[in-house]
Amino acid sequence: MLENCDWSSMTNFCISAPALKILKIWCVDEAGFRWDNSNGLRGCGLRIDAPNLVSLSYKCDFAKEQVISSFQTLVDADLDFNFDKNAGDATRRVYMIGLGAVASSFFQVLSHVKRLSISDRVLRVLSCAADLKNHLPTFHHLKQLNAEREASTGEALIALLKSAPNLESIVLNEARAQNF
């Protein structure tokens, strides 16, 4: 587990561990509070090469650049993306569209996941991706989806549901207040 890491002085971070089974990258504590010294991965390039990963928990900002190998053996993924809620209105739309593109590419490496848990922020960011329905992979192995949902994230949730033809279980929870 990588927790309470200060990424601010790092330009690149590489995890290359072919035998790695579980990876947790968190910029928050268990209650969802951002750690004081954490700037997330905003200024850092992230490379993950872990082809045998079984469980991924990613609760952090997006990296400046991401190179992530496909996780063919992934069973569980738990995602919660942080983003700058204070971006001004003039730049917010461009900022969110950019995040949406990064998020949809992040989802490409999750196409083999069997159980996926996502926060309302993940859905919010995905809803900003251009042509989302054509940029999400088909999740043929996805059997269970747990999602926090708020009214503004319906379009992204529908796109995600349409991309999971073998889904057996959906759990929708009301979005809770987030602290980061």
Q: What is the pLDDT of residue 13?
A: 84
Which of 88, 159, 92, 94 minimizes the C-alpha distance to 123? 159
Both tokens assigned to 165: 């033809």
Least confident range from 53-67, 84-98, 135-149: namely 84-98
Structure tokens at 81: 């993306």
Residue 74: what pLDDT?
96
**pLDDT in the model for residue 70:** 83
Both tokens of 9, joined, read 């002085």
> How many separate domains does the chain show?
1
Is 73 within a domain?
A: yes
Q: Residue 7 falls within a domain, yes or no?
A: no
Summarised one tens digit per residue, pLDDT across range 4-29 is 666 667 788 888 999 999 999 887 65
Residue 1 in any domain: the answer is no
- Residue 149 domain-assigned? yes
pTM score, whole prediction: 0.82
Check residue 19 and give its pLDDT.
93
The model's confidence at residue 36, banded by pLDDT at 50, 70 and 90, is very low
| Residue 46: domain span | 12-174
In a domain, 4, yes or no: no
Domain membership of residue 6 (yes or no) is no
**Per-residue pLDDT at 35 exceeds 50:** no
Residue 108 within any structural domain of the chain = yes
Q: Is residue 51 in a domain?
A: yes
Q: Which of 2, 28, 33, 30 is nearest to 17 (CA)?
A: 2
